[in-house]
Amino acid sequence: MQIIKATKKDRAEAMKIATDLKDWFNKEGLKNMKIDFELNNLVVAKEDGKVSGFLCYSSFSGKMLLMWMGVAKEAQRKGVGQELLKWLEDEGRKFGFHAIEVETLPDEDSYEPYQRTRAFYYKNGFERVLYKKARVQGWDDQIVLEKKL
Ligand SMILES: CC(C)(COP(=O)(O)OP(=O)(O)OC[C@H]1O[C@@H](n2cnc3c(N)ncnc32)[C@H](O)[C@@H]1OP(=O)(O)O)[C@@H](O)C(=O)NCCC(=O)NCCS
């Protein structure tokens, strides 16, 4: 498996993967993701030339911000997510950053698919540091998870 900076074609493949992850990403999320892919950094996991997972990130004030990640349904639980995360950790350490931050649905929210998402982050060393109440009607509360580098 290779982790590389996405080309335009990879970006389209990553969007297709996200579109198929319907339990996690709705229409509004996908619309925002497309813009975030263009304005920020995107890396993809590739096997035999085919994209199996993606991770979109930026940096702010000594931290990596993990914006979006996803692994194709058929490629999940094979270590692709962990490889993508490891790539971001290495990249963060290169710059001397102290942490990676990600936002997700709170543990208090019973929606099952995101229980799996949190299981992935907690397994990979993220800790819950903040609870953010939704400030816009229709948005969900979020928690901030942090992994120290
Ligand atoms: C979360 C996600 C990126 C993880 O990628 P992945 O390639 O499936 O995960 P990995 O195989 O690297 O998993 C590493 C470890 O995390 C934990 N983990 C991963 N998926 C899990 C799940 N569904 N349930 C419980 N634990 C899980 C496990 O401990 C796993 O190790 P194991 O398989 O040896 O038990 C992927 O499942 C996904 O795309 N989910 C939907 C989208 C999403 O939630 N994106 C993040 C929010 S933007």
Task: Spell out the domains of the chain, with CATH numbers in brackets.
Answer: 2-148 (3.40.630.30)
State if residue 87 touches ligand 1 by the CB under 6 angstroms criterion.
no
Sign of CA dihedral 44, 26, 113, 107: positive
What confidence score (pLDDT) does residue 138 get?
84
Handedness of CA 10, 40, 3, 22 (dihedral sign): negative
- Ligand 1, atom 37, lies closest to the CA of 76
| pTM, entire model | 0.97
What radius of gyration do the chain's Cα atoms show? 15
Q: What is the pLDDT of residues 65-100, one digit of tens each?
A: 999 999 999 999 999 999 999 999 999 999 999 999
Band (pLDDT 50/70/90 cuts) for residue 58 is: very high
